[in-house]
Amino acid sequence: MTDTSNWLAACRVEDAVENGGVCVKNGEEQIALFYFKRRNEWFATQNECPHRKQMALSRGMIGSTTDEPKVACPFHKKTFSLHTGECLSGDECAIKTYPVKIDNGIVYIGKSPK
């Protein structure tokens, strides 16, 4: 059993979008959850793009550059590393990233950032 004081039960695996993102509500907060099926990896980041403070990252396209998994904001295509949250388009801003784990068909997101 997963301890729900530290982990948020976000959704079932089949509710997540393969090779894309969904947005998860955690109280006042919005978290973008990505199921990178090609790499068989899960990532979670803040949903807000720091560029223009838009709640948009979950609607962005994911992909990789060299081997770094990334998401591109749908608004102005700034890209962010899904691993570290670092902005890959050369801007001085980063996004928060959260741990993700799967337990019994449920996707859990860590309540505090990595």
Partner 1 sequence: MKKTQIIVIGNGMVGYKFCEKLKSKSESFNLIVFGEECRRAYDRVHLSEYFNGKTAEDLSLSTATWYEEQNITLFLSNPITKIDRDFKMVYAADGLSYSYDYLVFATGSAAFVPTIPGVEKDGVFVYRTIEDLELISEFAKKAKTGAVIGGGLLGLEAAKALIDLGIEQTHIIEFAPRLMPRQIDVAGSEMLKSKLADLGLKIHLNKNTTSIVGDGKIAAMQFSDDTNLEVDMLVISAGIKPRDELAKACGIEVGQRGGILVNEKMQTSDPSVFAIGECALYDGMIYGLIAPGYEMAEVLAANLCEGDKEFTGFDMSTKLKLIGIDVASFGDNFIDEPDCRTIIFENKHKGIYSRINVSNDGQYLLGGILIGDATAYNMLLQTVNNKIVLPENPEELIFGSRSGGESDGAGITSLPDSALICSCEGVSKGDICSAVTDQNCENLDDIKKCTKAGTGCGGCIPMVKDLMVHTFKSQGKYVKNVICEHFNYSRQELFDLIHIHELKSYDEVLNEFGKNDGCEVCKPLVASLLASLWNEMILKKGNDVAQDSNDRFLANIQKGGSYSVVPRVPGGEITPDKLIIIGEVAKKYNLYTKITGGQRIDMFGAHLNDLPIIWEELIAAGFESGHAYGKGLRTVKSCVGSTWCRFGLHDSVSYAIRIEERYRGIRAPHKFKSAVSGCIRECAEAQSKDFGIIATEKGWNLYVCGNGGSKPQHALLLATDLDSETCIKYIDRFLMFYIRTADPLTRTATWLNKMEGGIDYLRNVVINDSLGMAEQWEQEIENLISSYKCEWKEAVENPAIRKRFSHFVNAPEEKDPTIEFVDMRGQKRVAEWKTSNQI
Contacts with partner 1 by CB under 8 A lie at: 10-11, 15-20, 22-25, 30, 33, 36, 38-39, 50-56, 59-67, 69-70, 72, 74-75, 77-79, 89-93
Contact between 62 and ligand FES per CB under 6 A: no
Residue 52 CA to residue 44 CA, distance in Å, equals: 20
Contact between 49 and ligand FES per CB under 6 A: yes
Query: In the numeric block, which tokens belong to residue 20?
Result: 């894309």
Bridge partners of residue 36, in order along the sequence: 41
Strand intervals (E) in 1-114: 7-12, 20-26, 29-36, 41-46, 48-49, 54-55, 61-65, 68-72, 79-81, 97-98, 100-103, 106-110
Range 63-82, binding ligand FES (CB under 6 A): 73, 75-76, 78
Q: How far is the CB of 104 from partner 1 (least distance, A)?
A: 17
Query: In the numeric block, which tokens belong to residue 98?
Result: 């959260």
Among 2, 26, 30, 54, binds ligand FES (CB under 6 A): 54
Binding stretches for ligand FES (CB under 6 A): 49, 51-52, 54, 56, 73, 75-76, 78
